[in-house]
Structure 1
Amino acid sequence: MSGVRRLGARWRRQRPLRTRLALAASAAVTLVALGVCTAAFFVIRYEMFHQLDLNLTQSATRLIQEHRGERPEVLAGECRFLSAPACAQIVPAAPSRDPAAAYLLPVSAPVREVAAGERAPYFTNITLFGKPLRMLTTPIGEGNALQVALRSDTVETGVRQAAGLLAAVGLAGVLVAAGLGYWVARTVLAPVARLTSTAERIAATRDPRHRIELPPGPPDRQDEVTRLATSFNTMLGELEQSVTAQRRLVADASHELRTPLTALRTNAELLARSDRLTDAQRDRASGALGRQLREVTGLVNDLIELARDEEPRPLLEEVRLADLADHAVATARTHWPAARFQLDIAPDARGVTRPGVPARLTRLLTNLLDNAAKFSPPGAPVEVGLVTYAGTMELTVRDHGPGIAAQDIPHLFDRFYRAKAARALPGSGLGLAMARQIARAHGADLTAEAAAGGGALFRLVFPAEG
């Protein structure tokens, strides 16, 4: 049994899916066709012999009625040539009562039993003068049995013709089944073949822009294979966006790192010849090297944060945004002593929580506060507010700096994008991009707009929990 199972598994591995599906469909249709033909043959055979038995029964009934009360001698000469409608004879239960003439139809012990009333009437097939006959043996009167026979060669010929016709129909059904199996396999697996071809093309070219061609039709009436192809196209779209974003990130990072690394190398080479420098020059080069190292470190850390995927679900916890805002503002006051931070938290927002990762949400708030403090004039307030309404939480950060130009708003959250007003200020252009990525990972929406009266206004909105 295990050997048969291993052979079946090997056959499945060696045969392609299209061949196996075609063979399975063909086998199913073939079995149905052969089953129908076989059932039809037995039904036809039964009906034809049943009709012959009815004719025998009618002939026997007629003879019984015609010879009621008398002993007939039914051994006509026509019977010998089998040209009479029915060949009949009467057999007594006791052999001593047999007529002098020999019986034409065969007489056996069961016939005597029927004549004696010890056996029920029965049908049997016999051969007489080289011709097949169907014979009925039934009681007639007391102590006698009537035997009636009819030629059955026409019935058997009809049965053979029906068998030949049904065999031809079955063979045609097998051929049709093979054609249908091939067509079904080709039609059903066409999207799978296109999916496989697209996957192989992507693997060979490493280009996720390829898509599987879908058949026309409304999306709500697609079959399972078409839905699989649609899902594969969706996955390819996401993969293309991810690959494009990663390539852009690498290209932008290489561009942004080139300048500070060049400065680092210059200052390092300068310090390597420190014996030619004065103490003041050495201190300036050392200080510049330290600042540049910090800038490169911050840039690399920002790139690592941007390259991270969303936090896994087990790391999420219920976070009080009010507490995070208190901590972020307190930290910003120490980093930006020249800025004046004003925190206004609505009383009903104090106890509200949202699922999230505290460290990443703190990084989001810190980036917004650092951005606001960087653009605020000395002594100007940075206004931070947290309110809740209809289950929605909204955190706002507003500065009183130069504001945001209309042409900069669509690109403000792009990686390494720096507005014209920010190009002279420190920073890598990754803070706001990182803030929006963290917001989206937590199901929130981060937007920017020009504030009324000047400055920039950032809104972080957490939707109501479903």
Structure 2
Amino acid sequence: MRRAGLRTRVTAGFTAGALALSTAIALVSYQVTRSSLLAERERTAVRAAYLDATVVQAGLAADRPDILEILRSLDTGGNRRAMLHLDGEWYARNLDAGITDSIPAALQQLAQSGQPVVQRVRAGGQPALVVGVPLAPGTTFYEVDSLVELQNTLRVLAIVLTLVALSTAVAAASLGRHATGYVLRPLRRVTDAAQEITDGNLTARLDPTDEPDLARLTTSFNGMVDQLSARMQRDRRFAADVSHELRSPLQTLEAAASVLARRRDRLDQRTAVAVDLVNAEVARFQALVNDLIELARSDQPAERSPVDMVDLARQVCRTHQVSPEVVVAEEGAARVWEVDRRRVTQLLSNLVENALRHGGGPCAVRVGSEPDGHLLTVEDEGPGIRAEDREVIFDRFVRGRAAHVRGAGDGTGLGLALVAQHAAAHGGRVDVTDRPGGGARFQIHLPASPQ
């Protein structure tokens, strides 16, 4: 499973932290507010109940009191209901719709024993507060105060706090994403510069003035690139100098070997075989020197011009005595590409030669396209290339296991390295896969426009 990116993880951390914190604050705020409102409502209900109980007690002290009239004289509003329990009988100002049943028996016993009582209950399925005030032995005044409005208020408060917590989490996610993007911006510049260097642009550098806090990283990076560039330049100069210095004695050897080859029929068999070996090694040595010189020139930019790739591919095949019929122009693909003719000719020539040496010759050379550029494919019917060797086969002087899977390994070890270098000079790349039905498939991916 692929691990989430740093920006995603930091954003998720900001969101989770903000959500946890805002949720905790919301819960604490809700509980504190709820407790405060309930306590204030209880104090108000108890105070009102005692005032009403005083009025009822004064009315009961009169001769022949009218209990219903006394209860009706109370100003209880629409939320409170007043009841009187007298000598085992219940009296209420309105029709009792089960209100008396909502008063717990234990609470009634405490009130009858002379203790004032307060308890939250459910009356008619709704929350309510019962206040019991003893007036005299056998006489208790009750008020049932509805808490529906308070419940609705608390519900609205809960919704508001939940929305605030979610909004805080969303804001934290936005802040985290923005902050992470700002922090990672210098790293993206480093990444872009490193990618340019990988693509062959050794002039890529970081500007120390962009991020003063990362001045040390910028200086170290630029210093590393300077050293790398200088070392690569020295290596190229060394390869070029050595190659040029070898050319003179090599030409002398080639001339001498040519003289010996012309007189081969005058030599004995053993000497003739030695002459053949000398000529073969001199030719191979000449190819190696040419490849080294070409590698030394690979850092130069591609000199682009319009090239008919189908005609070029057929010319390369004829040069290597391969039937031009193997060249296929795929439908919808552009024939004319803006490329360096010399580089692409050598690139294609090396792939065709590689197929001849190790794959029995190319069975198809395709000039095609892909969504973001051009595609040049060379296929053969040889033994193919093992998956573990595909990463190193384009390195220089690879003639060990990766080369031997393709054949005798009698090349210079630079042919495929040159293919990769020429593709990179165009801003492209090369890869190799299995060909359906057996063999290898080399693919050159080139951008449609110069990079």
Say yes or no: TM over 0.5: no
Relative to the length of structure 2, the TM-score reads 0.43
Larger Rg: 1
Relative to the length of structure 1, the TM-score reads 0.42
